[in-house]
């Protein structure tokens, strides 16, 4: 099973600043990588798929990059509504696909 | 808009059973691939089951295989998860989600229902 490792576990950022989240796969997953945003008590939301393609309705301040084993989610200028937990997920040879443990983006 | 609403979560004793439901609206339910995903307290997300649009293809994670059964009723726009032989480690928030047609991506999710397995 491919293990997805996210870092850091918690990221403290001021509104308007840039946030960079990392996700590493234990073996290559090509570009079969998605990012989700999850706020407490709400449904998780698909942000990015195919490592770099924004899902429908996702603002341009969210961008994804990477391939193989190293991936990055960048939020260019954090808005108040962006404070949440972010998960990466690979879907190479799905199922099962696996999720990372998440990065919590909190207000500094 | 797309809505997925889970229900049926409860406190149940180890070895017990529970049936979760997911009511869908805002899209053509019978065209969609559906999944259940869970999140144990303080843990990450775990995909546990998938069913194709007609129900002809079903997958389970090893952690639930033989104990959980996924099903759907396209006439009622509903997805189900029958959970038997429940264990403490099944304690989690359970989400239903629509899986993308082309890949193991989860396009839309519900808000989840809490299952607690404890004596």
A86 to chain B, any CB pair closer than 8 A? The answer is no
The percent of residues above 90 in pLDDT, for chain A, comes to 91
Q: In angstroms, rounded to a whole number, what is the distance separating the alpha carbons of residues B86 and B48? A: 14
Q: Give the A window 20-49 contacts with B, CB below 8 Å.
A: 32, 34, 36, 41-46, 49
**B104 vs A91: CB contact, 8 Å cut-off?**
yes
Residue B8 has what pLDDT?
97
**A87 vs B44: CB contact, 8 Å cut-off?**
yes
Residue B68 has what pLDDT?
98
Residue B38 has what pLDDT?
97
CB-based burial, B23-51: b 16+ in 10 Å, e otherwise = bbeebebeebbbbbbbbeeeebbbbbbbb
Q: In angstroms, rounded to a whole number, what is the distance separating the alpha carbons of residues B46 and B39? A: 6
Where residue A69 falls among pLDDT bands split at 50, 70, 90? very high
A100 to chain B, any CB pair closer than 8 A? The answer is yes
Burial (CB < 10 A; 0-12, 13-18, 19+), residue A97, is buried
Q: Positive or negative, the Cα torsion across B50, B59, A27, A68? A: negative
The neighbouring-strand residues paired with B34 are: B51, B98
Residue B102 has what pLDDT?
82
Q: What angle do CA B49, B96, B112 make, to 5 degrees?
A: 125
DSSP readout, A21-56?
EEEEESS--TT-EEEEEE-TTS--EEEEETTTEEPT
* B70 vs A contacts (CB less than 8 Å): none
**B105 vs A101: CB contact, 8 Å cut-off?**
no
Of B59, B105, B110, the CB nearest to A43: B110
The predicted model gives A26-41 an average pLDDT of 95
* Both tokens assigned to A60: 């341009």
Residue A94 has what pLDDT?
87
The percent of residues above 70 in pLDDT, for chain B, comes to 100
| Average pLDDT of chain B, as a whole number | 96
Residue A76 has what pLDDT?
94
CB-based burial, A70-86: b 16+ in 10 Å, e otherwise = ebbbebeebeeebbbbb
Where residue A64 falls among pLDDT bands split at 50, 70, 90? very high
Ranges of residues in chain B with a pLDDT under 50 are none
B88 to chain A, any CB pair closer than 8 A? The answer is no
Q: What angle do CA B66, A98, A102 make, to 5 degrees?
A: 125
């Amino acid at each position: 099973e491919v293990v997805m490792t996210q870092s850091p576990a918690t990221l403290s950022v001021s509104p308007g600043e840039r946030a960079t989240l990392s996700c590493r796969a234990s073996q290559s997953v090509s570009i079969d990588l998605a990012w989700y945003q999850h706020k407490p008590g709400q449904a998780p939301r698909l942000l990015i798929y195919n490592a770099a393609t924004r899902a429908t309705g996702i603002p341009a301040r969210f961008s994804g990059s990477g391939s193989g084993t190293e991936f990055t989610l960048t939020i260019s200028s954090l808005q108040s509504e962006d404070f949440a937990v972010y998960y990466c997920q690979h879907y190479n040879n799905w199922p099962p696909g696996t999720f990372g443990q998440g990065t919590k983006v909190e207000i500094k | 808009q797309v809505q997925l609403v889970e229900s049926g979560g409860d406190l149940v004793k180890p070895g017990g059973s529970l049936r979760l439901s997911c009511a869908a609206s805002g899209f053509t339910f019978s065209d969609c691939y559906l999944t259940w995903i869970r999140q144990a307290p303080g843990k990450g997300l775990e995909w546990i089951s998938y069913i194709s649009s007609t129900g002809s293809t079903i997958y389970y994670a090893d952690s639930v295989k033989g104990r959980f059964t996924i099903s759907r009723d396209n006439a009622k726009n509903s997805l189900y998860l029958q959970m038997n032989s429940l264990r403490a480690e099944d304690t989690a928030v359970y989400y239903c989600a629509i899986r993308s047609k082309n890949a193991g991506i989860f396009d839309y999710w519900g808000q989840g229902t809490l299952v607690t397995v404890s004596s």
